[in-house]
Amino acid sequence: MEEPPDLRLMLVGHDWVKNNKVGNTLLGKQVFETEDQSSPMKSHNAVSTGYVHYKYITVASPADLFASDLSESTLRQRVKECTSLCHPGPQALVLVVDTSEFGEQQRWRMECIMDFFSDQAQNHAIVFINKGDIVPEDMVVDIRNCKNKDTEMIIHSCGESHHMYTRCQNKALKAIEEMVSKNDYSALSYEDFQDARTDSYYCPRPLHSPPRSSMAAVTGKLPGL
């Protein structure tokens, strides 16, 4: 019998600890740091593998990508290095969102990170909605009732691909694999954006969302509305 394809996943969450908790759930073991928000490990990328349901799974957990004082070059380097840990590239970006803390700036940074990959990144992304440690395994999410416009927007940008995270390994992996199989298990690759005039690299969008007033002036509407 042919073995199922391996899975390579990269976590992208605005809360480093909750990001790693999802990684531990996916692998079914405690491998990523989850105890201390001030841990020095926040500045290091990490990767771990496991053999789950007759397949090898690689989970890459990046260093903190959402720090407000993070420079463009550091963000770019962290994403690039983390991508290399699941060579030839992640088949899924698992976007870990806590709706109680997820706002315009977090959504903007998450979209900025996806911009580092090919223009197919959003087709390879699934939003894991994390509502805390104690969530019934049969709980479902209706994004129309999540009362968080930025969560709705990031889910919509990913083609409505989302999952209510309940620490249930089977359900979490099933949600990811359904999306990955639709993409024929293809992988994403990191892309450098280089300015031909200066030979310098740049982010395809600013790291921080423009003030609402300036966005309104340019687009005629406020972001997130």
Q: In total, how many domains does the chain have?
A: 1
User: How far, rounded to the nearest angstrom, does the alpha carbon of residue 175 sit from its chain's CA centroid?
Assistant: 14
Identify the band that residue 79 occupies on the pLDDT scale cut at 50, 70 and 90.
very high
With respect to residue 224, please indicate whether it lies within any of the assigned structural domains. Answer: no
Sign of CA dihedral 71, 74, 76, 78: negative
| DSSP letters spanning 92-124 | EEEEEE-TTT--HHHHHHHHHHHHTB-TTGGGG
Range of the domain at 25: 7-219
pLDDT at 180: 95
- The pLDDT, as a whole number, for residue 211 is 47
In a domain, 103, yes or no: yes
The CATH number of the domain holding residue 65 is: 3.40.50.300
Q: 119: which strand partners? A: none
Q: Where is pLDDT greater, at 223 or 118? A: 118
Q: What pLDDT, on a 0 to 100 scale, did the predictor assign at position 208?
A: 63
Q: What is the DSSP string of 56-88?
A: EEEEEEPSP---TT--HHHHHHHHHHHHHTTTT
Cα separation, 41 vs 147, whole angstroms: 33
Average pLDDT over residues 168-187: 92
Amino acid letter for position 128:
F
Question: What confidence score (pLDDT) does residue 162 get?
Answer: 87
pLDDT of amino acid 62: 94
pTM given for the model = 0.82
Residue in the structure block whose two tokens are 């005039």: 197
Q: Judge whether 213 lies within some domain.
A: yes
Evaluate whether residue 1 is within a structural domain.
Answer: no
Given a cut of 80, whether residue 178 has pLDDT beyond it is yes
d(CA 158, CA 42): 26
Question: What are the residues whose beta carbons fall under 8 Å from the beta carbon of 89, sequence distance 6 or more?
Answer: 8, 83, 187, 188, 189, 190
Quick: pLDDT tens for 7-21: 999 999 999 999 999
89 pLDDT more than 90: yes
| Residue 112, helix vs strand vs coil | helix
